[in-house]
Structure 1
Amino acid sequence: MEKFRPLSGFFEAISNDARISVAHIGLYAVLLHCWQEQGFENPVMAFSHEIMEKAKISARATYLKCLHDLNEMGYIRYERSYKRNNRSKVFLNVKCG
């Protein structure tokens, strides 16, 4: 069975990163899943409530903290949409090969 390289690459990158919590890992895994569902196109376009539900994150503050942490650490690039009817953009820094 072939590995899902972007997920494997993420786990390699975080192996020595003490800042990463289980919430960060869950959020990143859901973003990868959405990326896959959207045809492996960057950016991932999503509403926060969609991502939070899939990642089992119930507190908006936790979601935003993890998203901003992943952004600051360089695992993603997050562009928030300030309009309720527009999805935010999340660019994944993934290696596919």
Structure 2
Amino acid sequence: MNYIKLLNSAFSAFYFDDRLNPTHISLYMALFQEWNSSRFAEDFFVNRRDLMRAAKIGSKSTYHRCVTDLNSWNYLTYFPSNNPYKGSKIKMSIIGTSDEPDLGHYDPKLEQLAEQYHPIREPVVNQHRPTSGQALVSTINNNKQENNNKQPKARQAVLDFFIEKNFDANEGEKFFDHYENKDWKTSDGKAIRDWKALAVNWMDRTELFDQENRPNKKQAYHKEDNLRTTKTKDYGQPL
């Protein structure tokens, strides 16, 4: 038994099972990750709130319906708990595999595989340990992705970006010098979060300024025409 083989077997079953909807599959995957975290134990305890968050399920009734369906359709065995301090117990079904070792026994290869996908050294997020001793562990990673576009690596990166947007490189020079002098901060002193978005805004404002200040040929023609004197005047006629 291994992680990839179990997962591939599950997806093969999903493909041919028209009873499933995306919420069933999302909940199964959240349960599968908890199973993986428990080193593929024969059974394990789960926290409903953590599972709902991992599976992106917002309704308790939807969660209970889906886990009951998965139980009825033999994807798992669900043992609900009436104890608020102890999670429900889940026993995952082995789908489409025959050459698997007995579950619940130590297997060095399985331990290494589980460590690869859920390292022991990784700090556990939102860990709760009730008085019964059963740890309810969330495997959700709340770390935000770092934004690498706070400021350009060099002047040339800005020029290349302006040229890529079919814009004059001289404007790129002005943009870079302007915000380099400001230490890449906004007018209110806050650090710029995305210089490319700021550059696009700079280009838009530049184009708008050019359009507003571009002379209107038709208006210029009439203005010039009105300055011309085309009528002949006879100063000999009485007023």
TM score, norm. by length of structure 2: 0.38
Q: Write the mapping of 1:12-51 to structure 2, written as runs, cut at 5 A.
A: 12-51=12-51
Contact 1:46 1:87 in 2 (8 A): yes
Name the amino acid aligned to 2:37. E
Structure 2 Cα separation of the partners of residues 74 and 55 of structure 1? 19
Residue equivalent to 1:55: 55
1:73 corresponds to which residue? 73
1:14 CA displacement: 2.1
SS at match of 1:54: helix
RMSD: 1.7
Q: Report which of the two has the higher share of strand.
A: 1
Q: Could you tell me the TM-score, scaled by structure 1's length? A: 0.90
Identity of aligned residues (%): 28
Consecutive unaligned residues of structure 1, counting only runs of 5 or more, are none
CA distance in 2, matches of 1:45, 1:36: 12
In the other structure, the counterpart of 2:6 is: 6
- Structure 2: distance between partners of 1:67 and 1:81: 13
- Whole-angstrom distance in 1 between the partners of 2:54 and 2:42: 19
What secondary structure is seen at the aligned counterpart in 2 of 1:4?
helix
Q: 1:40 deviation in Å?
A: 1.2
Higher relative contact order (CA closer than 8 Å, sequence separation 6+):
1
